[in-house]
Every structure is written in structure tokens, then in C-alpha cells.
Amino acid sequence: MSQGDDGRRICPEPPRRCPADGERLDGWGFADSGFRVRANGAVELEGGRYDLAGTELPDLLPWVSRTIGVALDPRETNPSQYPPAIPEPRENPDFLGEVRKFLSDDAICDDPESRLRHGHGHTQQEIYAINHAQLARIPDLVVYPNGVEQVEALVAAALQHGACLIPYGGGTNVTQALMCPADEERVIASVDLSRMNRIRWIDPENRMACIEAGAVGREVVDSLAQHGFTMGHEPDSIEFSTLGGWIATHASGMKKNRYGNIEDLVLDISAVTAAGVLERSGVSPRESVGVDLRHCLYGSEGNLGIITHATVKLFPLPEVQRYQSVVFRNFEAGFAFLYELKQQATPPASVRLTDNLQFQFSRALKPASVGLKRLKGKLEKFYVTRIKGLDPDEMVACTLLFEGSREEVAAQESALFRIARKHGGFKAGAENGKRGYELTFAIAYIRDFMIDYYLLAESFETSVSWSQALSLCENVKRKIHEEHAARGLPGVPFISCRVTQLYDTGVCIYFYFAYYYKGVDRPSEVFAEIEHAARDEVLRSGGSLSHHHGIGKLREGFLPEIMSAPMLEWSRHIKRAVDPQNVFGSANCGVDGGKLPR
């Protein structure tokens, strides 16, 4: 660590990645973590990274079987066929020769599995394809620049020799944003920014930091904490996603209530485009200098250039961090609580309300209890169901995370529990609150685990006004049941929702959909058809096309439904103006070389 040129800035050492932190190539997460079925039929999360790891989960498969109306047999699986057939790379000797002038040999990779990994994100269609089918087009090579100058040289080489560049951060997107256009004839180079992962400087006096775009969330959190700060941005994918990806997808995080969304945290953005580098001489608290080009980069999804670094706000580490949870009679009561909480008080950093099905799911993920823990569990159940009179088939839970000074947290807790009592809610304990918050990271592994047992699953999100939120939830759930029944699919679908972020005018809602696909022709395509119908229902019910996942290629067909013709034309004009040769040919957000819609 060293001081910056002005004596006030801190320049942290680059992050040191542990070899054990390797990621899986065939699905989500770390290579040393994942669910498996034990010989006795209980499920276990392997590895030691998560609190849930190493304990038996005897209720998970039986609960899933009851919920979907199909008896899952642990011995009956659809094992992964990874890796699939991998397309041969296309060649452009002139481009490659130019790249070799400024990139070392270890910064240029044409390994088939590395190319495959850089050609997909984490939608169910992509994960199903790499395990049970194949991808038609993937990058022809992967390059690893280590600074802005090398990114500039890559863009210049692509312009000169007719190559296509697609930026790659953490590979966590769920919109097919990394899938290569099948009709792309040029050589596609995936520009992996993992070597541009430093926090360049921290300004403790002005509470700012300059961070490179390839910095991974978990490393940003750890490095800033060593100096007493936090950025406060914690998306569900924080273990693997990057700062550049957060900006390019217009991301949101679990602590949005306290720290804001990504656009509230970023003060300045630098990017390399086909016309050169977008950068400014300094960062001010606020300014009015004409059209703010930074806003074009939020949600740009690789279409306009490669984000290289950004200056972000910092916050002191909170004096207090406290978990809690509240249980309500039903989803409607919990939702009414959220509305009053937002209108009359300051919500804690994170507030998430699950519906009953997700509440049951979290219970199914509890380890087997023995001795005093088992007795405690029975007493808690007796208190909730007999004394409080809550129905296990209707009750819901709200998990809470408070952060701030002792005074702030105390005031927030006092107001929140006063409002909760008005709506029939009562405390369910800090342990349940912490467990609910941290389950977010462990349960991310379940979807890919369940594919082997003939379950396809995916999440999708929206934002919606307060007045339309409950009806939207009902309509989307009904639509999925109708689409499932109309196709004569086995069992019943799993469809649940939770409220994850609060705004003055509405909320963000996450949906989780799964269905049993054994015996179903084209199961991944059928899933996509149902999800498409559900998203159509989201729009009809007043929801947004996306809250923070972005558009990619998955949602581009809906753009004409939410934008006027002049708005779509502006998107074309911007793309043509800043990238006339379509060097950044990701074809996301419906923009393909300036053509929109397709």
C-alpha cells in the first residue's frame, strides 16, 4: 500500500486471488461448492464457504416432490454431458498478428473450454445448452488486457482488421448478453477484464475511490473494508460480478435502501470506444455541462464500448450491522407493512418479503435438528401456529438488515417494529434474519443441481407501482399455471415471488419459476415460451421489462412494446454514431449494428 501523489489518496495492493477460488465451468459458483444427494437421500451443500455447507437437508427433496406433484427419485437423473461439442474457432491472421504485438502469449487464449465459458451467461437456456445440447457460436479467442492502453490497442486492431469485440466481466448475466450472434461472420474476441481488477486509489477525505472495471465484487468489499469503507453495492451475484458489469447492466443491490443503486454510487465512468477514450479531467460533486454521456453507458451492455474504470462514492463501514426478521399472517399483510414502512419511516438497508411458497422453501433448507434445537423448533412452531394463530400455508417472512450508527439503527428498529405490529407482524429473530439474507448465496447453486433431477428453473424480475404490485403477482402466477396446464406438462409448476427493493413509488419483485421436464420434448425451449408469456403478463399488469437484470438478447423483442418509435430510433442513431463499424457487436438491447428491432 502507498500514498497517492497528493498525500491523501491510498493506493491498495492488487487483490491476490487464491487458487481455491476457481469457478465452475459447467454452472454457477465456485468449483469446490455444490449440492449433492447423500446415500440416505438427504441433500448436502459441499465445501466450506457457506453456513449451510456440510449439513444434511433431509426435507429438501421430499418438499420439492410435494410442491411440484412429482416424486423425485434421487437415483433417476439426467446427468450432465458437459462439455458439449465446441465450434471450431474462426481465424483472422492479420488481427491476431496485430494483437500479438502488444499482448503477451499468456494474455491470448484459444482453449476450447475457455472460449465456451466466455460465450454464455447464466440463463437456464445457456446452462442447459452447455450441459445437454450446445451453443451454435462462441468467441474465437479470449484476450486479457491489463490496462487502458491495451484496450485502446485492441479496439484499434479490431477496427483495422475487421474483428468483433465483446466485453466480459464476471459472466454472471441472466439475459443471454454474452451469447454470440449466430450470424456473426467476423472473428469474435472476448475481452476479459479480469486483469484490470485494481482499486487504483481511495480518497478517504472526500470518500471516493477509483476502481477498474474488472474488479470483482467480493474483492472490492474486502479491499475497501481494510481501509474502513464500503461502496454499499451488494447484488446477489457479488461473489463473481464486476464493477464494469454493474454499470453496463444498470444494476441494483440488496442494500439499495441505504446506499442507492449503481447510478447513485458512480461519480464518473471511463470507457474505450471506436472513436477513442471517453474520460474527463476531474470529478465534481455535481455539475451541469450539457448532455451527460455517462448515462449512455448505464445499461449499454457492451454495445458502445468497453468500460475500463469508474470513480465511486464511499461510505464509512457501519458502526452497527444487525439482522432481524418479522413474520406476517399472509403476503397481503406483509405488503401493507412494506408500504407504510416506506411512507412513514426510514427502511433498513435491506428489506425482503417472501411469499408463502418461498417461506416454505427456506424451511425445507433447514438442517435436521436434534436435542435442544429440535425442542426449540417445536416450541417456536407451537407459538406461531397455536398462540399466534398463523397458518403455515399462508404465513410469510420479512428478512431485515440494519446498518448505520447505533442511533440510526435504534430509531429504524423502533419505527419498523411499531409499524409491523400494526399489521399483525412479530419478531422471528436475528438468527432467522441472518440466515435468510445469507441463503441468497448458497441457494444460487440449487438451480443447476436440480437440472440433473429433471427440474428447470429461473428467476426474473420487474419493478411496479405500489397500487399494481399485488395484482401483478397474482396475474403472473396464474399465467404460468395456465401455460403449464395448456401444454400438458407433468406435475404443477413452482412459481413464487418476493419483494426485494422499496421505492417511494413502488417495489422490485423477483419471481422464481421451475417445472419438471422429464419426458418433455425441447424442455429448455418450452421453459422459454412459458417465461416469455409470463413476461408479457408482467407488462400487461403494469410492470417494467427489467429492474436490474437488463435486456441482453432475452428481452429485446419486448422493446417496441415499452418504447415509442422515436426512442427506438435514437438507440439506432447512438449506435451508428459511436460505433459505425459495429466493432462492439454483442447485439444486445435489440441493437445490432444500428438495426432495431430485429
Secondary structure, 3-state, 327-352? EECCHHHHHHHHHHHHHHCCCCCEEE
CA distances from 443 to 190, 223, 237 (A): 29, 26, 12
E strands, 113-246, in order: 141-143, 164-168, 188-192, 199-203, 208-212, 229-230
- What residues contact 93, with CB distance under 8 A and at least 6 apart? none
Nearest CA among 225, 83, 95, 237 for reference residue 153: 95
Binning the chain into helix, strand and coil, the percentages to the nearest 5 are: 35, 20, 40
Residue entry with cell 448475466: 173
Give the up-direction half-sphere exposure of residue 371: CA atoms within 13 A in the CB hemisphere.
1
In three-state secondary structure terms, 307 is: strand
| Angstrom distance (rounded) from CA 107 to CA 259 | 36
- What residues contact 576, with CB distance under 8 A and at least 6 apart? 594
Nearest CA among 326, 325, 329 for reference residue 391: 329
In three-state secondary structure terms, 410 is: helix
Return the C-alpha cell found at 181: 450472434
**Which alpha helices (DSSP H) does 5-123 contain, by range?**
60-68, 93-99, 112-117
One-letter amino acid for residue 106 of the chain: D
Nearest CA among 112, 35, 109, 128 for reference residue 74: 35
E strands, 493-572, in order: 494-502, 506-516
510 is catalytic: yes
The answer to whether residues 30 and 22 touch, using CB atoms and an 8 Å cutoff, is yes
The answer to whether residues 499 and 338 touch, using CB atoms and an 8 Å cutoff, is yes
Residue entry with cell 469474435: 188
Beta pairing, strands 506-516 & 494-502: antiparallel
End-to-end CA distance of the chain: 50
Among the listed residues 128, 168, 453, 510, the single catalytic one is: 510
The answer to whether residues 531 and 483 touch, using CB atoms and an 8 Å cutoff, is no
| Angstrom distance (rounded) from CA 315 to CA 335 | 30
Burial class (CB in 10 A: 0-12, 13-18, 19+), 112: middle
Nearest CA among 285, 309, 362, 368 for reference residue 57: 368
- DSSP code, position 107: G
Beta pairing, strands 350-354 & 494-502: antiparallel
One-letter amino acid for residue 501 of the chain: Q
Return the C-alpha cell found at 522: 425441447
Active site residues: 510
